Structure 1
């Protein structure tokens, strides 16, 4: 295959554009901004779960408080009834003794229930503070996530612009090559990722392997318009004044 040296040298421009496209695609796959979004989404879920867990605890404590309040109210009503009967003067001595004993038991029971209520109320107050803290943490996680998503979207948009620019450059460059040369380039690029590279200091710019002296001698004696290949990776070797031949 033959091509003017000036045409062959343009393959380096095309290879540079393709290398940039490869970098863009790689960056899109490992976008730090996307990784940050994923991290913050996980953190938001964790903080949301924490807030829900505290809310469930508060609901349980509220149910316990209502239950204790109901029990305390029932005991108080029983106490009021017994006191009314005691002061009515309408009960006999035996029933009076039983009422006094029951009233003492009721007062003791009410005191226990009231102590239990104070304990639950204190726990409820602490849980409410935890819930407020969890809510603040969740709000912050939401804000951080929104900011991260915006940065991710901006980065993706920048990559799209860069890719569009490279695609335009590539389309313009591709039209300047003979059909057989661009076909060979594309086939090699599909195989190894690099279609053409500069030969410099006996080293292939694609595989970075140093070419032995015998092969370099053969390449040196090859006409400038003949397309040569790397004996190691088969990439098209572009010879320029920097090749040192």
Structure 2
């Protein structure tokens, strides 16, 4: 028994429509925007990790800076106190040399701590600049991602409309 030629043509047309729909669905699932979005997302994730690392280093440096400032305060106070005692003549001749030695030691300690403090301040500044630069770069990527999402959604809508059109043709 052979099928009616009209029915065979209709069946072939339905198969052709199904093939077109399958191709469109494949195109929709493999839009180039999706690959680019995945690439940008990976870059964005890496930048976010780098930002966190820079902010952590900055936080560590700020904590170290506070520790140095805490160490500096008593050293400066002791230096001022010792110098005032010497200037007021309140030190016995026997205790003068050890007091002068201590003042010299305190000046060296203060100078070392101040140098450390300057280095740390530079590190804080550098890490802040790094974090800001990376954040600006991430913001640019996020803008590009939003633009790509709009393009992808537009392309997907167009493909969905074509798929829907073929679905309507298939029903008739």
- Fold conserved between structures, TM > 0.5: yes
Which structure is richer in relative contact order (CA contacts within 8 A, separation 6 or more)?
2
Q: Map residues 203-218 of structure 1 onto 2, 5 A cutoff.
A: none
| Residue 85 of structure 2 is aligned to residue 85 of structure 1 | yes
* Higher fraction of strand: 1
TM superposition shift of 1:117: 1.2
Measured after TM superposition, the shift of residue 103 of structure 1 is: 0.2
Distance in 2, Cα, partners of 1:20 & 1:67: 70
Other structure's SS at 1:169 match: helix
What are the Cα deviations for residues 197-225 of structure 1, in whole angstroms up to 9, with x where unaligned?
xxxxxxxxxxxxxxxxxxxxxxxxxxxxx
Query: Aligned pairs, how many?
Result: 172
Cα distance, 1:34 vs structure 2: 1.8
1:60-139 pair list within 5 angstroms: 60-139=60-139
**Could you say what secondary structure the match of 1:145 adopts?**
helix
Q: Distance in 1 between matches of 2:18 and 2:91?
A: 106
Point out where structure 2 has 5 or more consecutive residues left out of the alignment: none
Q: Is the Cα contact below 8 Å between 1:44 and 1:141 reproduced in 2?
A: yes
Cα pair 1:54 1:130 within 8 Å, conserved: yes
Equivalent residues in 2 for 1:4-43, closer than 5 Å: 4-43=4-43
Residue matched to 1:48: 48
The structure whose Rg is larger is 1
TM-score by length of 1: 0.66
Q: Deviation per CA, 1:154-200: give whole Å up to 9, x if none.
A: 2222221111111111111xxxxxxxxxxxxxxxxxxxxxxxxxxxx
- What is the CA–CA distance in structure 2 between the aligned matches of 1:3 and 1:76, rounded to whole Å? 105
Asked if the contact 1:37/1:152 (under 8 Å) is kept, the reply is no
